[in-house]
Amino acid sequence: MTEETITLLGLESSCDDTAAAVVRLSGGRGAILSSVVAGQAELHAAFGGVVPEIAARAHVEKIDLCVEEALMRAGLALCDLDGIAVTAGPGLIGGVLAGVMCAKGIAAATGLPILGINHLAGHALTPRLTDDPAFPYLVLLVSGGHCQFLIVEDADRFRRLGGTIDDAPGEAFDKTAKLLGLPQPGGPAVEAEAAGGDPARFAFPRPLLDRPGCDLSFSGLKTALLRARDGVVAERGGLTRADRADLCAGFQVAVADVLAEKSRRALSEYLLLAPEVPVFAVAGGVAANAAIRGRLQPVCAKAGVRFVAPPLALCTDNAAMIAWAGIERFRLGLTDGLDLVARPRWPLDLGRPALIGGGKKGAKA
């Protein structure tokens, strides 16, 4: 491929992780030179969710330190960079502003170009950094803040086939853990409990499977779990370890069933484009769930599509994905100026109406 070398600093601050990374394109392949993520979980722990004001202040305090650390670990100085990529939305606006203002400060001081990155594009382009699929490929974003199927047509063109109309699956895992007295983040805790449970004991719904298309819904599942838990408690006066495991297993298999069936539908729509080497990639924290991956893999195998799952550290929020998305835009000549605007909402596919789901990150544009 090309001999061009591009080195970008990436910044991410749209939710509760402050992150900076340096990524280099060289010989046609991307390499992560450093990736620093400073979480804020302990700051929000007492509030049962991310508090936007607390998050914004923490980003302002930490972002410069993350930049210094990322440059130091990469062994580079600002003068070695070709530009600064920064998440410009969607997300909690105070946090997004902290990142954008930091990028503007560096750009003003150095004259480097800025690249405003859509956070969801960062997730959706990550497979290109790790596995280099050709366009178009299909991505399922599943995290605590997002849930959508996207066809990535090129680095600047995304087609949304469907998404959640209410909660993201990660939120449902977290809520399930809370209802059963398990620790946060709920996903890994529920997965561990589910391992010893009977998935058939409780009949949980498979929301929206009776409707055509790729939209998803998870809030009803949450309510069903609450009812089932209350039913057991009313009958027996409490939950045993086995009850908890069965509830987790039933919930997890319902999420996996829904994601598998909707993925099958998304794949058949994607395959109509007749991609030369079809690829289905997953991203987001929920993609760490082995039971869910285990359900998606055979769906891909049956459709003759390669299944790609980037390493977990690149599935969850990080700045390497932002730097990489910046490199993809830089190659297309899509740089921004000091007038870059921070956007709380920013749908990737402007041809489709915004998704209405609420949740940790606000609207899932």
- Residues at the contact surface with ligand KG4, assessed by CB under 6 A: 15, 143-145, 170, 173-174, 185-188, 191, 284-286, 288-289, 316-317
Query: Which residue type does 242 have?
Result: A
By beta-carbon proximity to Zn ion, the closer residue of 149 and 202 is: 149
Nearest distance, CB of residue 215 and ligand KG4, angstroms: 19
Contact call for residue 317 and Zn ion (CB under 5 A)? yes
Choose from ligand KG4, Zn ion, none: what does 185 bind? Cβ within 5-8 Å by kind. ligand KG4
The first and second tokens of residue 268, run together, are 């058949």
By beta-carbon proximity to ligand KG4, the closer residue of 83 and 170 is: 170
Strands (E) in 3-42, as ranges, are 6-12, 17-26, 29-39
DSSP state of 360: T
Nearest distance, CB of residue 331 and Zn ion, angstroms: 23
Q: How far is CA 88 from CA 79, 227, 282, 290, 365, in A?
A: 23, 40, 23, 32, 13
By beta-carbon proximity to Zn ion, the closer residue of 171 and 317 is: 317
By beta-carbon proximity to ligand KG4, the closer residue of 144 and 310 is: 144
Size of the site for Zn ion (CB under 5 A): 1
Do residues 323 and 10 touch, judged by C-beta distance below 8 A? yes
By beta-carbon proximity to Zn ion, the closer residue of 225 and 325 is: 325
Nearest distance, CB of residue 326 and ligand KG4, angstroms: 19
- Residue at shortest CB range from ligand KG4: 187
Contact call for residue 171 and Zn ion (CB under 5 A)? no
Choose from Zn ion, ligand KG4, none: what does 217 bind? Cβ within 5-8 Å by kind. none
Nearest distance, CB of residue 3 and ligand KG4, angstroms: 34
Nearest distance, CB of residue 146 and Zn ion, angstroms: 6
Strand order of the sheet with strand 137-142?
157-163, 147-154, 137-142, 279-283, 306-308
Handedness of CA 189, 192, 193, 197 (dihedral sign): positive
By beta-carbon proximity to Zn ion, the closer residue of 105 and 344 is: 344
Handedness of CA 220, 225, 227, 228 (dihedral sign): positive
Nearest distance, CB of residue 219 and ligand KG4, angstroms: 14
Q: How far is CA 42 from CA 11, 51, 184, in A?
A: 21, 12, 11
By beta-carbon proximity to ligand KG4, the closer residue of 175 and 329 is: 175
Stretch that binds Zn ion, among 54-62, 147-155, 206-214, 317-325 (CB under 5 A): 317-325
Contact call for residue 12 and Zn ion (CB under 5 A)? no
Residue 232: phi, psi to the nearest 5?
-65, -45
Nearest distance, CB of residue 177 and ligand KG4, angstroms: 7
Strands 137-142, 83-89: parallel, antiparallel or unpaired by DSSP? unpaired
Strand order of the sheet with strand 6-12?
29-39, 17-26, 6-12, 83-89, 114-118
- Backbone φ/ψ region at 327: left (φ over 0), alpha (ψ -120 to 50), beta: alpha
Interface with Zn ion (CB under 5 A): 317
